[in-house]
Structure 1
Amino acid sequence: ELDRANSTRIRRIILETLKPNLAPELDSLMNVARWHYPHRRALTINSEVVGWTVREAEWLGLTGAGALSSFAKKFLAGEKRLGIDAALPAPVDHILIQGDNTAIAPGPLTVEILRHLSTFADIESRGGATVYRFSEGSLRRGLDHGHTGEEIRTFLREISKTPVPQPLDYLISDVAKKHGRLRVGFANSYIRCDDETIIAAILKDKNLEHLRLRQIAPQVIVGDAESSEMMDDLRSAGYFPSGENGQGAVIQVPVSHRAKTRPKPPRILGEISPPSDEILKVAIRTLRTGEKSAPKRTTGELPRTSSSETLDLLNEYLGKGVALRIGYADTNGAVSLRIIDPLSISLGTLIAKDQLTNGITPFKIARITGVARA
């Protein structure tokens, strides 16, 4: 129609020339059309356009075996009701299940049954009757659509005129039993630790609730946040994580030895006037406030205690709101002094608030070299 401006008019002429119960050949149809419309100027009826019209009319059902169909005249007259439904087979609401995991629909199924059945059965052949095949793959597809094995079995019993064969019943049960065992989820990053008490502390930490962490194993937590964001939040909460690659090796972040640039003090021009009495009072008050808020330092060496003595001292001060000084050895044996507020003891681990980081930190009791009041 884009390169032949008269194709619409030619199509109309050909359809009006066709008659019921008469199937003319293409050349004869062209001669009749030209004889009926000799006065059409600038209208060339060629065989190519006529052939396309006849072929497409048969595709649409306007002709049958080359003759005009019974409802084509109503279509050409512009009527809305063509009476096509009377020529179509009535839809059926049942199937016949066979013993070889197939089912026969003796006609076109109703829309609701067809839509439901197609989710877990494949069409094997079409015709006056349609053959459906039940297989492990088709039943798994139905389970993926949200149907259960019992729902599929009940639906087949309701629409089948024959009983559900035992092999098909076993196949449905077997596929439904296997379905859903393997789960696939989404996580951007993970946290793993050999110490399950630290895992438990992270899950209960209210400062990390926004990460929406979930535990998938006793020593593994996953989350939707990026690994860099998760490490920053863990450090802010008082934990000391380190990154690792896909092979489990620790990622070493290179330390920059470049000196930091300090801002130069502003250049003062002219003489500096002495501060007023009001400024001096504010400065003195600020210094005194800082002295009061600063933690009191305790002099002297920290006494060394055994593991049992350490545990007894921790239990003695636990729950009394007393700050403690502890010596804590790292994995390399280096001992550092910590000032803590003890909170609880569980499975050989002290959970305490570290006054240096102001975060909840776990301490292995076996690594505590000494305990004393701060």
Structure 2
Amino acid sequence: MTTPLVDWLRAQDDETLATLLRLRPDLGVPPPADLVVLATRAGVRASVHRACDDLDSVTLAVLEAAVVADADTAPVAVTELARLLGPDLGAETLDAALAALRARALVWGPDDALSLVPAAREVVPRHPGGLGRPASGPAGSSALPELLAAVTPEERRVLEALAAGPPIGRSRSGADPDSPVGRLLARGLLLRVDPETVELPRQVGIALRGDRPMGQVPVAPPDVGAVNRGADVVDRTAGGAALEVLRRLDLLIAFWAHTPPPVLRSGGLGVRELRRAAREMDTDETTGALLVELALAADLVAESDGVVPDWVPTTTADVWAAGGPEIRWATIARAWLDLPRLPGLIGRKDDAGRPISALSDGVRRPLAPRDRRRVLAGLAELPAGTAPSSAAALADLLAWRAPRRGGRLRDELVTWVLAEATVLGVVALDAISGPGRALLTDPDRLVAALRVALPDPVDHVLLQADLTAVAPGPLETALARELDLVADVESAGGATVYRFTEATIRRALDAGRSAADLHEMFAKRSATPVPQGLTYLVDDVARRHGQLRGGMAASFLRSDDEVLVTEVLAHPGTAALELRRIAPTVLVSPLPLVELLDGLRAAGFTPAAEDPGGAVLDLTDRGRRTSPRRRRRTTARSGPPEQDAEQLAALVSRMRAGDAMAGVRRGTAAAATNGSTLDMLRSAAAAHRSVWIGFVDAHGVAGERVLAPHSVGGGVVEGRDTVNGDVHRVPLHRITSIALVEDPD
């Protein structure tokens, strides 16, 4: 006898119902009024599809076997499922798969009478188990063994080809009664679908497969072929990758601050602009696309508010740049993990045949964070420093665990995630790094995990005779800032090479450094003797630097050298500056100070700006900035929010109460009289029983409630609502009907 799902749910304990709601959170939104509503939702096609997305290959094979056994129309025994699945599936594995299906209310009932939710038939493939539809003719009779024994070798080859799956085949020779297909059709061992298509009946396929009616069931997960890379090597490599990401993002921010690319009319970043950004960051276009996406996700860049918007760094970028490498990297890593976009799609064609551009809506995929976490979780299961043999091996394992997830991009997603994680340092040498593991499992210790992985910062450089300096590792923050000011990066990598030029020395002097400051820094911070050429370069630039001093008049120019002031006035390149002499050593101009100094430099002079006290003023252009967009943080969850144990328990209690109330409504509630109501309420309070009451409120509106009364008197009953736990007081004269709620068995 078939047990309805609602009756089976009523017989389960509260913990089982809470587990069901946790595994299928969509069933609890909105909260079901009772168990009838819960059972109805559990059988809805869309909900069943979502529930099956988390099932592995073995559990899905058991579900297919239940469909083949028609468990959705009549109960079947576990032994029948075991027969269909064959000897490869052990009893413990089968029990575990059935437990997973029962926990999700996809099957229910005892082992000798399992029932299947009808919507499951729409979840499995069109031909479950690679078997065709059952036949009612000779193929479905007891004469099938004799019919199969009488087929010729040529006919058996046709049957075995279809038995291997799929059971549908095309043959134009079926119209010829003397062909193998024609003879099989005549004997009912094949069924005609259309003039050119035939189908192998289910009974024939099962008979030909022998003791494996469902074919080969993938019982064991694929082997990923683990390779030990060494945890220390992986973490050191990851630390280097993390520093490289930060360096490239710094280059991107500096580049877009002065030459911001326009926003396409359709949104996003143009192909040529992406190529320019990638060249500036010294990387390929694929990595460049990932970095610009991360810059947008971390709110380091945003669209400007102009009439013609462009991509401009935000003020958040300045705050981010001031932090230590661990904090800066943690911000980028978290932004990547929760990024609801697939940078791997950039450059591909969309459904309309148009190329997908970076920073456009075409890259958006809300489920990307979930899939990203799945890949990292697969790597995190391996020991520290251990990598799978290949991305394909990891993709096969994830496909076995959740065959229905990922869609057509499933295998490519694994490759993309590994490549992106490697760029960031979340993965190194195909193994998840220490910081990557912390990012996935314990974000609170992410900064500390990266600090351990980063090489110790060095406090010195190696000055070379060719006016370069070699940093043998990551520099201390203060030293790195000074070197960025006084030199340009010529090449980056394990050791960074800086180049000193007249322009870079002048840049440092413009920022307020003196020649003595630079000589002192070189002497203290160099592990090699300071080259004489570098000393001469600093002294030569400093000798000419700042002899002219500009101020705000709109602007003024002064010098202790009257001959130099006269030379400036007479120079043809300064005519546009509209200079005039107001004292032997002072000139003024109506132009802003920055324009005045730029014009003098263009004419070949080396002026410096000064503040009212005469100190050198830094007028370095930091480029454009825009306000941060403060984007709402995304999560990897695609469905309803998860509820904690307390919330689930309250939801189960509410459904139980609603079910009890519905049961009272289905039964006979007594019409309330003063005497019967008072007696029943006092009896319920004494016995600690619940009662269902129907009542009308002060406005004449009818209502109902299940109460656990604890005091009756003075014309009022006071009790706790069994649904939400609130205490209510109901006047006895407003109660219209009443019934005891039966205790659950």
TM-score w.r.t. structure 1 length? Answer: 0.47
Report the structure, 1 or 2, having the larger strand content: 1
TM-score w.r.t. structure 2 length? Answer: 0.25
Report the structure, 1 or 2, having the larger helix content: 2
